[in-house]
Amino acid sequence: MEALKDVRILDMTHVQAGPTCSQLLAWMGADVIKFEPPQGDATRGQLRDVPNADSLYFTMLNSNKRAITVNMKTPEGKEIFVALLKKCDIIMENFGPGVLDRFGFTWEKIHEINPRIVMGSIKGFGSSGPYSDFKAYENVAQAMGGAMSTTGTPEGVPFVTGAQIGDSGTGLHLAIGLLAALHQRDRTGLGQYVEVAMMDAVMNLCRVKWRDHQRLAHGGLSEYSRPTEGLPATPRAGNDSGGGQLGNAIKCKPGGVDDYIYVVVQEAVWDALAKRIGPDVGQSNLAEDPRFAKIADRRKNQGDMWKYIEQFAANYTKREFMAILNPIDVPCGPIMSTADLANDEHVRGREMYVELDHPQRGKWFNVGMPIKLSASPAVVKRSPTLGEHTDEILREVLGMSEDDITAKKAAGAFSMPPKKK
């Protein structure tokens, strides 16, 4: 029994931010109808690795969905859209500002057509304020939400993070909003409009940087490895820990690009850690060394502390060092490359890298469902090909007859307009 079994979603989302949300809802059992223009979501053809096959960009974000193509620039296409609106619980989109309004479907209009439907919208900057007319992509959101100015080394250029916090992070926020609105709808019978701006979502994910921004008014940030007194804004922190405990990325054997382990020198573990590494780095009394006695001393002298830890780590691979640190309770994590993860027993065991088949591309892998529901575990299925379920949806969901379908097809409801000569 799937958690969202009775929920049907009209999914007009494209690229990453919206599809990541509707894919999650599909994994929880919702019937997600991917509603695409006749040429399809642009990502079907972007960064293609296999000729004439849907790209991994598309397949990895659109699994477990059904697909229909509808040309919203024809009156017949709009009729299909309205008919589907009446049969769905959620409509979601992440078009550029004003696209749905230009089709004639504002939230007010959609609410009038189906008062029970919940509408989810992702915009770069939301529907109000001076930035509301602008489009946005992942890195634009990372730049404007405060992530880039706080990522990288203090003296270097601002960096984007590999985690797609602007797109997938925003999709997660939308999923939470949609489920809350659905819950309220079940109580009141009325849907509502749920909007998430990518910039807002990134700010939310950078919450601790706003903690540090305000702390600066009262002095320096003692956990940073460089001086921060007097700075007007939260600086880039390199690999310094963002919390109350000290942390850093430590280089290991044999010194390749990903041969690092992140080590958190939690207050409670210093004694055991110092006793374990001290003798090997010529510091047999490290645990009693006054430079590192209290956390405040270790903060002040963290450069020396990291030097000793790195000297010790030079004799071990990141996995070997992990095996030394775990038994003495030191929180740590080897820097995992995608190759490390793809072959990791833990990852495979948790179904976080799942092999699937696809009619156009053959075997491929998707990252699995990170939210584990005990009574309704997700079964990851392949993404649909372009328009794969058009007829099925028209018949099953809308109850259309074969004649009706043929007439709508002839009127161009599901296809591109013929090219002008």
| Active site (catalytic) residues | 167
Is 11 one of the binding residues for ligand COA (CB under 6 A)?
Answer: no
Residue closer to ligand COA, measured from CB, 42 or 335: 42
Q: Shortest distance, CB of residue 11 to ligand COA, whole angstroms?
A: 11
Measured distance CA(1)–CA(148) in Å, rounded: 42
Residue 207 token pair: 């919450």
Closest C-alpha among 367, 290, 16, 30 to residue 171: 16
By CB under 6 A, residue 9 contacts ligand COA: no
Name residue, tokens 């020396």.
304
* Residues 170 and 19 sit within 8 Å (Cβ to Cβ): no
> Whose Cβ is closer to ligand COA: residue 72's or residue 88's?
72
Would you give the binding string for ligand COA spanning residues 331-370, x where CB under 6 A is met? ----------------------------------------
Let me know: does 313 contact 250? Beta carbons within 8 Å.
yes
> What is the nearest approach in angstroms of ligand COA to the Cβ of residue 336?
25
Report the residue closest to ligand COA, judged by CB.
Answer: 96
Taking contact as CB under 6 A, which single stretch among the options 48-56, 69-77, 294-302, 376-384 is the one that binds ligand COA? 69-77
Residues 6 or more apart whose CB falls under 8 angstroms from that of 204 comprise 173
Q: Is 17 in the site for ligand COA (CB under 6 A)?
A: yes
d(CA 33, CA 68): 7
Count of residues of this chain found to bind ligand COA when the rule CB under 6 A is applied: 20
Query: Where does this chain touch ligand COA (CB under 6 A) — which range of 66-74, 200-208, 320-328, 355-363?
Result: 66-74
Closest CB to ligand COA among residues 137, 365: 137
Pick the closer one to ligand COA by CB: 56 or 70. 70
- Spatial distance between the Cα atoms of 293 and 288, rounded to a whole number of angstroms: 7
Three-class secondary structure of residue 116 per DSSP: coil
Instruction: Please give the distance of CA 264 from its chain centroid, rounded to a whole number.
Output: 25
Strand order in the sheet with 332-334: 246-251, 260-265, 332-334
Nearest residue to 81 via CA among 25, 121, 36, 124? 36
Q: Does 124 bind ligand COA (CB under 6 A)?
A: yes
Q: Whole-number minimum distance, CB 90 to ligand COA, in Å?
A: 17
Among 26, 72, 172, 269, binds ligand COA (CB under 6 A): 72
User: Counting runs of H as helices and runs of E as strands, what totals does the chain give?
Assistant: 17, 11
Q: What is the C-alpha separation between 123 and 42, in angstroms, rounded?
A: 18
225 vs 415 by CB, closer to ligand COA: 415
Question: Residue 2 or 11: which CB sits closer to ligand COA?
Answer: 11
User: Residue 292: helix, strand or coil by DSSP?
Assistant: helix
Quick note: the x/- pattern for ligand COA over 211-230, rule CB under 6 A, is: --------------------
Question: Is the Cα torsion angle 119, 124, 130, 133 positive or negative in sign?
Answer: negative
Report the site for ligand COA in 79-108 (rule: CB under 6 A).
Answer: 94-96, 99, 102
Q: What are the residues binding ligand COA (CB under 6 A)?
A: 15-17, 37, 70-73, 94-96, 99, 102, 122-124, 135-137, 167
